[in-house]
Amino acid sequence: MTSPQACSASPQTTSRRDFIRASGGALAAVGLAGSASSLWAAPVEDSFSLPSLPYAYDALAPVIDAQTMMIHHTKHHQGYINNLNAVVSQESSLAGKSLVELLKHLDSIPAAVRTAVRNNGGGHANHMLFWQVMQAPREAGKPSGKLGEAIASKFGSFANFKEQFTKAAMGQFGSGWAWLVVGDGGLEVVATANQDNPISTGKTPILGIDVWEHAYYLNYQNRRADYVDAWWKVVNWEQVAMFMQKAAS
């Protein structure tokens, strides 16, 4: 599998142990979904299914319009699920496995279906997180509390983090994602191609932006920079904080 491309390294060298200490229990009080990987950990008895959005299709407007959200959710995300279910139904060794099991152990999947699982399992997992880390637009939103402190410690400031993350999103050639992940060195910004997910390389994503054109083309056409700039207004930092806390525990 192609490894995520690490972006410019931070001058900080916060270790995972230091990161865990910095991101401790204060975040546990946030009453939101658990770890990002827990979204994908449930065993599958019959087939994977499309999760409901935690908001209406028009909730993110004008940053992301209702039509884009509806098409993205019911057509693109559903398409990955349909394709993944078709593969799993044909390959008995995959039956009952969760997304985490599939994506963490791609090398153990039969070669004939590995690419299909990587692409479609990744597409399902990526979108499950993407829907969760957005909310109705807020002006000048930024993280606070332990998440804000961890970002400032690792990247020097929120502004530096935002610049590095935006660079990853803009620098992804063609389709892909930019991520904030928890790795062995604490927080990192990485980019992945297509529907690859950082969990396949041992990193836990806590924030991700979809830079496939279907995520923004109706409103922004080829203006990815405008989409990325506007997207910061819909980031659900409380959810990202919960994902960070769980990843560090």
Alpha-carbon distance of 5 to 172, in angstroms, equals: 9
What average pLDDT does the chain have?
A: 85
Q: Return the pLDDT at 155.
A: 97
Q: Answer whether 66's CB lies under 8 Å from 185's CB.
A: no
pLDDT (tens digit, 9 = 90+) per residue, 167-177? 999 999 999 99
pTM of the model: 0.83
Q: Return the pLDDT at 23.
A: 33
Q: Return the pLDDT at 33.
A: 46
186: β partners? 183
Instruction: Name the more confident of 221 and 14.
Output: 221
CATH architecture of 5-34+136-248: 3-Layer(bab) Sandwich (3.55)
Identify which of 158, 152, 189 has the alpha carbon closest to the alpha carbon of residue 22. 152
pLDDT (tens digit, 9 = 90+) per residue, 67-86? 999 999 999 999 999 999 99
pLDDT (tens digit, 9 = 90+) per residue, 221-244? 999 999 999 999 999 999 999 999
Whether the per-residue pLDDT at 145 is higher than 80: the answer is: yes
Identify which of 244, 147, 153, 151 has the alpha carbon closest to the alpha carbon of residue 205. 244
Q: Return the pLDDT at 37.
A: 52
CATH tag for 38-46+64-132 (out of 1.10.287.990, 3.30.1360.70, 2.40.128.110, 3.40.50.150): 1.10.287.990
Q: Could you tell me whether strands 176-183 and 186-193 are parallel, antiparallel, or unpaired per DSSP bridges?
A: antiparallel
Q: Where are the domains of the chain?
A: 5-34+136-248, 38-46+64-132
Q: Return the pLDDT at 27.
A: 28
